[in-house]
Structure 1
Amino acid sequence: MRKDPSILDYSCTIVLLVTVVSAIAQPPTAHAFGGTSTTIAVVYGGNTTICTIVAEQPIQQIQCFTPGQSGPTPISLATSFDFIAGGADFFCGLRSGGTAMLCFDSTFTPKRVYFNVSAPLKSVTIGDMQICASTSKNDIVCWRGGYSPGIGPFRSISSGLGFSCGVMESNSSVFCWGGNGSMASAIQSSFFNTSMENIFVGGTQACGISTSGWLICEGNNDNGQLNIVSNSSYEFSGLALGANHSCAIRRWNNSVVCWGGKGEFSSDLTVGVSFESIVAGLDFTCGLTSVNLSIICWGPGWPNELYPSGVALPLAKILPGSCLQSDCQCGVYPQSQELCSGNGNICRPCHVPIVISSPPQIISSQTSSRNRGLRRGWLAFAIIGSVGAFSGICSAIYFLWTGVFFRKKKINNSAQPTVNVRSSSSNSSHSISSPTIFSRSSFIVRQGSRLLRRQRSGPSSKHTDLGAEEFSFSDLNAATNDFSSENKIGAGSFGVVYKGKLPDGHEVAIKRGETGAKMKKLQESAFESELAFLSRLHHKHLVRLVGYCEERDERLLVYEYMKNGALYDHLHDKNNVEKSYSLVNSWKMRIKIALDASRGIEYLHNYAVPPIIHRDIKSSNILLDSTWTARVSDFGLSLMEPENDEVEFKPQKAVGTVGYIDPEYGLNVLTAKSDVYGFGVVLLELLTGKKAMFKSAETGSSLISLVDYAVPVIKLGEVERILDQRVGPPSDSVEAEAIELVAYMAMHCVSLQGKDRPTMADIVANLERAATLCNHSRTDSISSDWISIVLE
């Protein structure tokens, strides 16, 4: 249908206005400041130490240097870091992707402070002791004497001595909090009614760039730390504030100017030197030079007797920014691929055009104008520069509107998915052979359109439509030697399971329903459920239904035989508990089994139409075939989920197995997250080797929940304490990272509320990453002179 040209013109007019306003309002990008995340961290206190993220390596690791040493100390964790920040005798680093934060003491011993797949961190700031971080949702979390402000979201955060400040996303106002309440309140009041783009906190002062581009400083001025040496709109791009001094990077030449400290920070060392970023200690500043990406430091607090000011520190080349996998909106840093060793790109900051509106002069915050508008030259530049974008955008809108570029395609909702696309990590599109997958893998949500990818499934009113073979009772009776006890191999949701051999020689597992009157109704329901689902579900990680038998009161189901039995038996059977040579007694195999099972459950949740909730996920329902491939079994309690994702089941009564049942099930609520809870318990079984409900020496004859036993220990970051001794400790830090990833994911899976649990798609993605880590784990990859850990 032809579109009204007037509507198109009106749309383009709106696009032009939005483009102009966006260009005018675009904020400068800050570089670095003391205690806030960048690729450099200053550790002060007992021994001054400079830590950085190393460039030109497949894994972006950390190196540290203390003046007086002959060279740097590398920290080997076989994982990449995006940012680091320093404080009093410690520093912290954000792992690539932000899902975890590790902090290191003066001996470089790491301690995990944060792990959350669903809310990764994007920045961290450290004062003297307190740590605060911003999540991807712009919420603030704090540790070590700091406390969360309880409001948000924040656009920018920074910490000083005993307090932190942030710029509110909603109204660009400054809000401060922390143990030093009087200073926090004074700083916040000083910025009252001022719209800020960012904030940088020092010891007793704070500086920031306003939404109009002006540098404003407030707080204590006893040492001249508010006496800005010059100030013009958008003159500065980044700040570093110490206890009583401030430094800033000029945008037009990346030179550094400092003020405060009663003049002790004026230095010729920075004249003519271009810097990528700067970071401050209490009474000195360090900068990353553009010419060779090295560090120089200066100021009265720098230990010149150990290492002279202005002399490059003996550190390997340093990353000027984080290596990111995402596209760069404002261009890529030169030699980005070389610096990141092919692992992403360093993005250029999105600066506004340079406008010098006033000559250098000494201006304090008390005399600077708070409400200066944008200069006419900048406004004209923005408008003119938007004309080209306007033309291109309008053309794109026109083509999209009229369908020149894109044509609608018919979607065949009945198309069958290729169920073995991700059946093996070695053949999966997610499998990466390079060791750089250790930390570069992101936690991706791979849940796709149900309409496009689900296979039709569900019960049928006619068994003849199921496609499963119908057996006679006499055939199955003969196959199991009259259902002898010697052939009994287990029990299912509605009966006993026997091993059998068909006349053609194929081995099968035959589930025979109970024939008693009390069990008749239940076994008929379970029989119909399994027959209906399994005859239509075909996936490598689901047990395959071979056929069925329905004669008089007999109800039997025939499955493919799983030679290596149930996972439960390998973990808990008395004949296997003391065996240390079992193939399952390796972390690599246990993680593989978890990954296999998660793929089967994900198939039920995301690819079946309607989606299916298993309702009885447990280790005894995860079977292992002759190749040790794990498959989910027993669909006797399964239910079909409504097509509307918002609808919750309200079953008449809770079913399942004690220890695996979702706590929300007691509230008469059932969703796919109920399966996630059960699977989380299975993960804990794999990690600990303990049953879902078990007796311990502490509890005597009383049973304790595995969740209650394991989760508190995982929260403390002491995963090694609960690991199954039959498997032993991780072989190296890479395998340790994989185990830790599984442990923290299990902890989230068994959250009390379903909304706090991950989806099965998330779980599969995380287990794929853990499996990849195990595949690349090797102890000889870590040099003995590098600091390494078993568990972080």
Structure 2
Amino acid sequence: MTTPLLLLLFLPLLAASSASASTLAVAAGATACAVVSENSTVFCAGAGGANSSLSVPAGVAQFVRFTQVASGGGAVVCGIQLGGRALFCWPAAAPEQLRRVYNGPNPLSDLAVGGGAGHVAAYDPVARLIRWWRGMGRFPDQVAGVFGSVVSGDDFTCAVETISSSVRCWGPRGGAVEADFVNASVSSLSAGGSRACAVKTDGAGVICSGSGAGEGALVPRDVYVDGLAVGESHACGLRRPNRTAVCWILGGPTTTIYWPAVGTAFEFLVAGGNLTCGLVSSNFSLMCWSTDGSVAAEVNLPPILPGVCVAAGNNSSSNPCKCGVFPDSGRFCRVSGEVICNRFCDTPSPSSPPPPPSPPSPATPASRRGVSKWWIAFAVVGAVGCFAGICSIIYCLVFGFCSHKKIHNSVQPNLTAGNNTTTAAAAAIGSGGPSPYGSPNGSLGRLRRQLSRVMTRQRSGPSSFKDPAEEFPFSQLAAATRDFSPEFKIGEGSFGTVYRGKLADGREVAIKRGGGRKFQEKETAFRSELAFLSRLHHKHLVGFVGYCEENDERLLVYEFMKNGALYDHLHPKPSSSPATAPPLSPVATSWKLRIKILLDASRGIDYLHSYAVPPIIHRDIKSSNILIDSSWTARVSDFGLSLMGTAAPAPEAMKAAGTVGYMDPEYYGLHHLTVKSDVYGFGVVMLEVLTGKRAIFKEAEGGSPVSVVDYAVPSIVAGELAKVLDGRAPEPAPHEAEAVELVAYTAVHCVRLEGKDRPAMADIVANLETAVALCDDGGGGGAGAGGVYGNSSSSTASLSITSMELSRLD
């Protein structure tokens, strides 16, 4: 009965993650990934200057909250989901490529990832097992026992037996590593490369083992038990009593000791490869340094969770925190009743750091000199920037608003006084010829442009730190759609079939169910769209509610858009008889509403290109992916094909993705993908709105397919816009005619063959805002008395709303 009683005695300790568990991981490519304190999501960023693989911070599946992460310096990073019942892994260089490797039922703790092939180990405290994944037969599937401090290196995993304080190791190198810990009693482990190190329970210092470490090195004796980190060929620890970092080289002929961040106190350290990172106690920012002697530098990441949250005990005997609870733990832990344990018994931790990360407060003259240089550089750059900004404002005021100098605009037809004669639109574009419609004063146009830019930026908020999505059981979504009855089907997307549903709480939703493809393809599309939807939030992007992943089922849940897709309003299904034909859609009968829907969609796409971090290329902009809610507000949907980055040359082996008729010729012909590929697709949508024609259509029964680009652009360029306008819509009123023409000329520029000649989405937004304003004004030039396109009674000022950096006018 002795062993079971001892196990019961140690069970309270199993709920707590040991010192090896961390909210920070260091991976290959000098990349640091951390659980941020604001919402427990994970962000990764370059931590090694020019050698870093990620130049800007990247979110990892913002729909998932994590409790801890690990890497081991390899190419793979893994994290345990909040609650412990799911384990995810992703490539360090591509955080968006998330894969789940474990899904319950028991929670996990003490996550460890090895370098090299990247084997993954974690402790299951309920079943009292160490489990392995990606072991490729080199590790056992599981090992029973009561363990703490699970760590992994290259081809080995070690853990401390809780009862005996002895070290046990597994894997191809496990025996050699374990041999140097025989008869040693240790309290915690750390590992990296081919070595493991431990802090001895008798306080005699640190002992290291593994290839190249000889019989162990006793180096500094004043290192905290929970403050050790081991890299490829070095180790670092936190010294008593001030928690500053000390590092030393492993396996060399002599022991070299160095202090990378003199005067800076840390909560904990994590190492990987030749890089070490520490969480700064004063503000929970991240500082990293390498073994080449470089000075510790701050990493561009949000404030980091100061420790792993664990279940608090009900009484003193079951309290998992031997050194007490970290101050203000409730502010960090998302699960009720969980706390962060204080790692240090003899020194207090900060009670509440300031929200934004800031440089650590040094305590020595040498450190102060390093910080002062940064502040001096910052002050110089700031002063230059302020001076340039003031000069720019003065220039705009003097030469923008006060001057009547003509400003040319290549997208927009140059609208001057007419003599009731229509010149070709090509002349208007290329040589400043007259336009058939009037325009407001040029200065007013410029003011509209500048104000619209400011308003667009105010409307576009950050994409990070969105609340995580709701996870639904499959049974609930099946009930909402009556087992996905065909009568509830409302469309198809890049990921699967879309159904209308009503949840038990009364919410109407659209449910997209993956299917009709190989599981891996479905999983990839599901992960892609889930990753994008969960990190984006904007008025003109489809509202994301949640998701379901159960067995082979993959479903996405969105807000229900009552008025369907723009495509359905422009191209309604033909009725069998006039008597049963539905009434015309408001979109079909209102030019103002058509342009307003285009404006809404353009704002959503501009948000993806200009404000999401990193920028996002949608890759499938089309009228069926522009949805309309009950208030006739348009939103962009379907991110199953989206990619991150402003420009992405596609490999020859990768097929271009998108929809025929909307795809950028540069993309599917040359495999050159940029944000201008979305601009081309949106230009096709604009032509659809103007003409009422599908992207690809047949002019007559049995005729050849024609693209709306080939159909509409020649007429618009020839000044014969009236020939291609949708005949179902009423003739534009005088104040709408100019707006319709502005949309037409903008569309022509959007569908130019070369991406460099197309406008940016921000400029398209500005033009469409002007077009909507023209519809509201009820003034300006328009058709002549006969109401035929080609006449003009406009003002004499040029309409200069924006410059899209296309062909310049002389």
TM-score, length-scaled by structure 1: 0.44
Q: TM-score, normalised by structure 2?
A: 0.43
